[in-house]
Amino acid sequence: MKPSPKHPRLLPLSAMMLAGLSLPALAQEATKELPTVNVQADADKPDGYRATATRVGKVLQDPHDIPQAVTTITNTLMEEQQVGSLREALRNVSGLSFNAAEGGRSGDNMNLRGFYTFGDMYLDGIRDTAQYNRETFNYEQIDVLRGAGAMLFGRGQAGGVINQVSKTPLRIEQYKLSGSVGTEGYQEVTADLNKPINANTALRINLMQRDEGSWRSNPATGAEPEIHRKGVGISLGLNLHTDNQFWLNHYWLKTDDNPDYGNSFSTATRRVNQNFATDTFWGTDRTFDKSDTRMTTLVNEYRISPDSQLRSQLRIADYERSYWARTPSDTQAPNAQALILNGATANGGPTRVSDYETVTLQSDYSTRFKAAGMQHEVLVGVEYLYENAFRHGLRNLGGTTAGNPPYYAPYDAATTGTATRFKSDSYAVYAQDTVEFIPQWKATLGLRHDIMDANYSSATSPKLKFNENSYRAALSYHPGGETHYYLGWSDSFSPTADLYQLTVTPQPAERSEVVELGAKWLLLDGDLAFRAALYQATKEWERNGDLESTATILTRKRRTKGLELELAGRITDRWEVFSGIALMDARILAIAQNINATTGVITAGADGFVGQRARNTPAYTLNLWTTYKLDERWKVGGGVESKGERFGYVPTGALPTLGTGTAFSPNTIPGYLRWDAMVSYERKDWSLRLNVKNLFDKLYWDQLYDNGSFAVPGTRRSATLTAELKF
């Protein structure tokens, strides 16, 4: 068949990529581009609260069919809750808690099932592990694959993978503008503009600008924590609805915030310090947190046959970040200079400038066939990742005394000291086969091999190389299309390279393994999904998430045992619900030794840490959001979020105690219950929605710096009114 002018014969992206795979050279030159890639089933018919399609398992499928726990936050759910940031959206994920920022790991920083997720952030299946504050304006949905995911995604943790799914062009012409105003100076405008250019070409543009103040302030100056963010997401679809589709996606996000590091703890009570009011903010108008994120992605889906597809992506990304923050004090009140006095020396607080550049090539081939009387679903893939990172403190443009206090400017790196530099080439190959060996029974087996070759600025350990295998296995029973029972096992690894910090003697990579027994049911003709999962996740050689810490290894062995229940979808034509509960027992099983990078001295944590609950891991979490349509125009809704108490401490030193006691007494934030509410009025072309967060004005501690120094309170009662215009 000859190609027509309307359907040119384009080469698949994978062929063009593999023809000239001199990517290390390309990576050296490609630095200032940016990415955004995409996955969705049929965006013209968006899901309600129950997602019907995901690519978090590498191929497009119903989450119901994945033999692993999956939580999907849909665009509908995010819009109804008036969610702006990724962190706010993830309140809908049971078993998740938030870490406060410090040590270079500020930005989106969460624990899932008790384990860090900063190495498990993805955008459309490609690593997005840079530390910045993400926005949701360009998201179609957020998929959370729980458990070890290294076989599918590469190095990572035991808690799970958080994959952000970008918006891409739709078949229909559609435009939506929204504007929001609220308490504490909240203002946001967004635009979602979709334009089909012809039968096989379409353009989608998403725009956002958001400004927000705070209920907290510096009593000396009136300065507040602030959020100022704007972004652009552009997706151009070419050759759409053919066997050889292309998407060119570009994403840009700029943030200009004033960071809030909360309040300190009291050593006398191990609770948040009461010497200063809860609404006290230690930052000033001088402190800042700025970032500039740029990504460009080329995506190709080449359908070889009805049962075979080759999907390839090439992304170039650059993440620039700079901040000057002010940590709180338990004895010194805030001042206009953003300093804390240590005797006659003025401490200006933590500073950072960083630039993280990546080039990623990823290609997946998936096919279905029958062999030896059995149905096979095969996935094979290759991946290359180039990383080039720079990190340093900011240059002090002031002095070191109260009369001449420190002062810092954004992106002005220090001229003294040694910057941390990191370059790495990573290669991976993987294969997985799902076999229906007898009717209704499937076995999944997967293997991935990763090679990481990294160079560091560290004088004590300048090189690191890892060759690691990762595995995935599952047994599934499908007695009917609405029911899925499974037993799965998966593992993962994560080298110290993820944190860009090394010891005198390189330690083994983190290793994690997860065993999960689960069940998934589709109820009410598939409108409502219910799942249950019982799991055990074990991690060895757990690393520190704080880049400033000299103790790289936190624990030798740690384990979380848990139960999760989740309900999502439509109960009736008018009533929808999204809810989850997680019960977690997270314990330290063995302490670890650390080798000081300068002196070589070996230290270990106290034996009393063994058996203690892990940091920032509540015994339970609960989330519920539900809406009900009173008629064709009015809808009401509300929800609750609850977490148990959480601990903050350093498991590599002395056991935290109270006074002269010897019992384990870590810094603790209490559990909380927060209620939200919503009412909306919808017409064909426009709508109004009122959201009230923290309806009963509850004081609660939202983020915990898990080393134990401080905690950040959550928002007090706030109201936002949103108007939408659709045409």
pLDDT tens-digit readout, 344-377: 888 999 999 999 999 999 999 999 999 999 999 9
> DSSP string of 225-280?
-BEEEEEEEEEEEESTTSSEEEEEEEEEEEEEEB----EEBPTTTSSB--SS-TTB
Whose CA is closest to 565, among 524, 520, 626?
Answer: 520
Tens of pLDDT, residue by residue over 646-678, are 999 999 889 999 988 899 999 999 999 999 999
Residue 515 makes CB contacts below 8 A (sequence gap 6+) with: 487, 488, 489, 535, 536
Q: Which pLDDT score, from 0 to 100, does residue 573 have?
A: 94
Whose CA is closest to 622, among 96, 79, 61?
Answer: 96
Check if CATH label 3.40.50.720 holds for domain 13-726: no
Structure tokens at 489: 């096992």
Stretch 530-546: mean pLDDT:
89
604 band by pLDDT with thresholds 50, 70 and 90: confident
Tens of pLDDT, residue by residue over 311-324, are 999 999 999 999 99
Q: Which pLDDT score, from 0 to 100, does residue 505 have?
A: 66
Three-state DSSP class for 429? Answer: strand
- CA 412 – CA 351 distance, rounded (Å): 10
More confident residue, 461 or 281: 281
Stretch 592-614: mean pLDDT:
85
Tens of pLDDT, residue by residue over 397-436, are 999 998 899 999 999 999 998 888 889 999 999 999 999 9
Beta strands 160-166 and 121-123 are: parallel
Tens of pLDDT, residue by residue over 87-124, are 999 999 999 999 987 544 567 889 999 998 888 999 99
DSSP state of 708: S
Structure tokens at 216: 């907290």
- CA 159 – CA 136 distance, rounded (Å): 22
Domain ranges of the chain: 13-726
473 CB burial (10 A radius; 0-12, 13-18, 19+)? middle
381 contacts 429 by C-beta, under 8 angstroms: yes
- CA 326 – CA 412 distance, rounded (Å): 18
Query: Is the per-residue pLDDT at 627 higher than 80?
Result: yes
3 band by pLDDT with thresholds 50, 70 and 90: very low
Tens of pLDDT, residue by residue over 502-511, are 566 667 788 9
pLDDT averaged over the chain? 90
Q: Which pLDDT score, from 0 to 100, does residue 41 have?
A: 42
- Chain-centre distance for alpha carbon 667: 25
491 band by pLDDT with thresholds 50, 70 and 90: very high
Q: Which pLDDT score, from 0 to 100, does residue 600 have?
A: 75
Q: Which pLDDT score, from 0 to 100, does residue 27 have?
A: 42
The one-letter code for the residue type at 527 is D
23 contacts 363 by C-beta, under 8 angstroms: no
Q: Which range is least confidently modeled, 60-64, 584-588, 636-640, 704-708?
A: 704-708
31 band by pLDDT with thresholds 50, 70 and 90: very low
478 contacts 442 by C-beta, under 8 angstroms: yes
Stretch 565-571: mean pLDDT:
97
Structure tokens at 128: 């997005």
Query: Is the per-residue pLDDT at 641 higher than 90?
Result: yes
Q: Which pLDDT score, from 0 to 100, does residue 245 have?
A: 97
Q: Which pLDDT score, from 0 to 100, does residue 708 have?
A: 81
597 band by pLDDT with thresholds 50, 70 and 90: low
Stretch 330-338: mean pLDDT:
93
Location of structure tokens 């070996």: 602
- CA 394 – CA 260 distance, rounded (Å): 19
Q: How many CA atoms lie within 13 Å of 464's alpha carbon, on the beta-carbon side?
A: 29
Compute the CA torsion angle 162, 299, 492, 579 (nearest 10 deg).
Answer: 20
Query: Is the per-residue pLDDT at 522 higher than 90?
Result: yes
> DSSP string of 246-257?
EEEEEEEEEEEE
Tens of pLDDT, residue by residue over 169-224, are 999 999 999 999 999 999 999 999 999 999 999 999 999 999 999 999 999 999 99
